[in-house]
């Protein structure tokens, strides 16, 4: 199954705005959770009918509606209609192969990011598309499956005197995006620790599948890079948007998030270069080991060439070979062989050939 691109055969020839789910079904049914809050009250509940949630969009409080599951095209379409979303936005939500981006639709912002996690068993990175709609009084988040990195944000919302309770939807959107970016750092650090440990294995000369590990991590770093570099562009674009939805007091926090996403992309580039260096080191170690083997074999060959020459002459079947009649010939023969072998080894050692 392709990881870097989603197959798009279903949308060929379709008109823009056609509602087609592109991705893998990861939940049995769509579930919706609503959190509505301001300085004085908090509502946190599951929602059965999306129209019950749409009533909150006109209140004076901040409403966060989180939708898990994107495979039900009709349900996502109903949510889009209830919150007056553009057909192209709904189409992008259903397409889980979207590139991270931010679009300004004047009355709301549409943001796409990738949430990533690292599977310790398979040593592979998995990502999940997060689509976010940020309006004046509500934020919609669309995820492919339950389980996310947003629990710290929910905990902050539950604390009555937290900064987020006094902020608007732009600050909530920042908090969610910042949590996603911080998770990038955590995943990169986890993979980075394993990449750095590879250097010790390489230099120790132990070939415990080192080449396979290097190629695996190169592929995973490339996969991370595909998700995080466009996210950096989206964060930069968000800080420069001339939109009434982004308040002046939230901009410093978004600027701080820029530093975090820059740190993530630079870390990816660093580990990408480190893997290339490790591959070169591994090839050098293998080549040096092969040179050592060839050097030993060459030394033995050089020693046995004269010995073979002498043995060849001594073993010829000439009728008149004076040494054959002498009773010490055999011992003299071995003495000559041992002397030549020892002299050769001494000469090689003296010249530091081994």
Tens of pLDDT, residues 17-44: 567 777 778 888 888 999 999 888 899 9
pTM of the model: 0.79
Tell me: pLDDT of 327 over 60.
yes
Least confident range of 10-14, 108-112, 121-125: 10-14
Which are the contacts of 166, defined by CB distance < 8 A and separation ≥ 6?
39
pLDDT grade, residue 196 (50/70/90)?
confident
User: Tokens in use for 350?
Assistant: 């003296």
Tell me: pLDDT of 230 over 80.
yes
User: Tokens in use for 197?
Assistant: 């440990």
Q: What is the mean pLDDT of the chain?
A: 85
CA distance 213 to 219: 10
| Contact criterion met (CB below 8 Å) for 58 and 138 | no
What is the chain's length?
A: 354
Radius of gyration, CA atoms only, the chain: 34
pLDDT grade, residue 187 (50/70/90)?
very high
Instruction: Tell me what pLDDT residue 184 has.
Output: 93
* E strand residue ranges, the chain: 31-37, 42-47, 62-68, 101-104, 108-119, 124-135, 138-143
All structural domains of the chain, each given as residue ranges with its CATH number in brackets, are 9-284 (3.30.460.20), 294-350 (1.20.58)
Residue (of 29, 115, 91, 33) closest to 67 by Cα position? 33
CA distance 320 to 324: 8
| Contact criterion met (CB below 8 Å) for 90 and 32 | no
Instruction: Tell me what pLDDT residue 29 has.
Output: 85
φ and ψ at residue 208, rounded to 5 degrees: -95, 60
pLDDT grade, residue 264 (50/70/90)?
very high
Find residue 142's DSSP bridge partners: 67, 131
Instruction: Tell me what pLDDT residue 354 has.
Output: 65
């Amino acid at each position: 199954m392709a990881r870097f691109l989603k197959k798009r055969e279903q949308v060929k020839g379709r008109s823009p705005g056609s509602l087609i789910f592109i991705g893998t079904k990861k939940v049995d049914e769509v579930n919706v959770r609503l959190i509505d809050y301001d300085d004085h009250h908090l509502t946190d509940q599951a929602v059965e009918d999306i129209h019950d949630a749409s009533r909150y969009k006109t209140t004076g409080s901040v409403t966060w509606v989180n939708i898990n599951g994107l495979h039900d095209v009709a349900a996502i379409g109903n949510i889009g209609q209830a919150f007056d979303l553009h057909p192209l936005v709904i189409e992008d939500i259903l397409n889980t192969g979207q590139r991270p981006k931010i679009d300004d639709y004047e009355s709301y912002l549409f943001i796409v990011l990738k949430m990533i996690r690292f599977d310790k068993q398979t040593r592979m990175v998995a990502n999940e598309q997060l689509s976010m709609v940020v309006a004046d009084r509500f934020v919609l988040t669309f995820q492919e499956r339950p389980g996310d990195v947003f629990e710290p944000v929910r905990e902050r919302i539950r604390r009555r005197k937290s900064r987020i309770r006094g902020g608007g939807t732009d600050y909530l959107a920042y908090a969610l995006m910042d949590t996603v970016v911080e998770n990038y750092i955590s995943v990169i650090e986890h993979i980075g620790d394993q990449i750095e440990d590879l250097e010790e294995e390489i230099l120790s000369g132990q070939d415990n599948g080192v080449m396979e590990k290097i190629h695996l991590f190169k592929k995973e770093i490339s996969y991370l890079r595909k998700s995080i570099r466009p996210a950096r562009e989206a964060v930069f674009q968000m800080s420069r948007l001339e939109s009434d939805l982004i308040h002046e007091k939230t901009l410093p926090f978004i600027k701080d998030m820029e530093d975090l996403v820059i740190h993530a992309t630079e870390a990816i580039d660093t580990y990408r270069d480190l893997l290339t260096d490790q591959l070169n080191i591994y090839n050098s170690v293998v080549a040096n080991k092969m040179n050592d083997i060839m050097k030993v074999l060459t030394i033995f060959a050089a020693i046995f060439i004269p010995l073979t020459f002498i043995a060849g002459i001594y073993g010829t079947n000439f009728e008149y070979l004076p040494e054959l009649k002498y009773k010490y010939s055999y011992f003299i023969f071995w003495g000559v062989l041992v002397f030549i072998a020892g002299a050769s080894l001494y000469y090689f050692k003296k010249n530091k050939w081994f």
